[in-house]
Amino acid sequence: MLKINDINVYYGNIHALKGVSLEINQGEIVTLIGANGAGKSTLLKTISGLLKPKNGEILFENEQVAGKVAQSIVKRGISQVPEGRRVFSNMSVEENLELGAYLRKDKKGIKEDFEKVYQLFPRLEERRKQQSGTLSGGEQQMLAMGRALMARPRLLLLDEPSMGLAPLLVKTIFRIIEEINQTGTTILLVEQNANMALSIADRAYVIETGKIVAAGTAAELSQSDQIRAAYLGGH
Ligand SMILES: Nc1ncnc2c1ncn2[C@@H]1O[C@H](COP(=O)(O)OP(=O)(O)O)[C@@H](O)[C@H]1O
Ligand SMILES: [Mg+2]
């Protein structure tokens, strides 16, 4: 579904992604794990068109999307849930969700997706008139995910959805990610919580200072001594 070939991304002189290649098959949950500053968000932003690679290819369903504007990438079926949620705090839950569908014209489909999102996140339905800035961190994460789903993506990019959440909520969010995947959405999940991410992923990549240093099935990486020592608390 997505094939990234040897991309390089720079912030001025900073070489943030160094020859990164990665593949995602339709239906998979793929996780990208790595320490703070490794280049995870940079990779997601490059896929979603917020950053442009200096060279290399990003093929989505065999079409080149590298360097295309973000809006056209959303239209093709890729949505991103940004790190730190970034909901519009002065707007209600419902208005934030409406914004997620702003490129769509199919009123009936939008209405169906509102119902789907409220089924997935009953908490959001209860709070649909509430100003988003007054939601808890977990609820804002749900809203950011719901908003991305309102674009009806076929590939969903999640940037550290568990960041700053209490353990019980982390479990809930991961369960919902699996549910979203089971309804047919392919997922690229960026996480520092490698244990949780590997527990739901089919395959994983490890990124260190802008380079992919390991790749394999989630089971393989969970059993690697090196990965355990560096990312899984050595257990
Ligand atoms: N806007 C920016 N300007 C300059 N450097 C940046 C910018 N954003 C990120 N970087 C740098 O690029 C590298 C990768 O950052 P990032 O992709 O945010 O890492 P991660 O998401 O894995 O924590 C880091 O060295 C970071 O300091
Ligand atoms: Mg990041």
Domain chopping of the chain, boundaries = 1-77+156-161+187-235
What is the 101 CA–ligand 2 centroid distance (Å)?
A: 25
pLDDT tens track of the chain, all 235 residues?
A: 999 999 999 999 999 999 999 999 999 999 999 999 999 999 999 999 999 999 999 999 999 999 999 999 999 999 999 998 889 999 999 999 999 999 999 999 999 999 999 999 999 999 999 999 999 999 999 999 999 999 999 999 999 999 989 999 999 999 999 999 999 999 999 998 899 999 999 999 999 999 999 999 999 999 998 888 888 875 5
Q: Which CATH number fits domain 1-77+156-161+187-235: 3.30.390.10, 3.50.50.60, 1.10.260.40, 3.40.50.300?
A: 3.40.50.300
- The closest-lying atom of ligand 1 relative to the alpha carbon of residue 42 is 17
- Ligand number, closest to the Cα atom of 46: 1
The reply to whether the predicted model has a pTM over 0.85 is yes
Give the total residue count for the chain.
235
What is the 42 CA–ligand 2 centroid distance (Å)?
A: 7
Here the tokens at position 174 are 């991961």
What is the 142 CA–ligand 1 centroid distance (Å)?
A: 25
Q: What are phi and psi of 114, to 5 degrees?
A: -55, -45
Task: Report the candidate in 220, 167, 218, 165 with the shortest Cα–Cα distance to residue 194.
Answer: 218
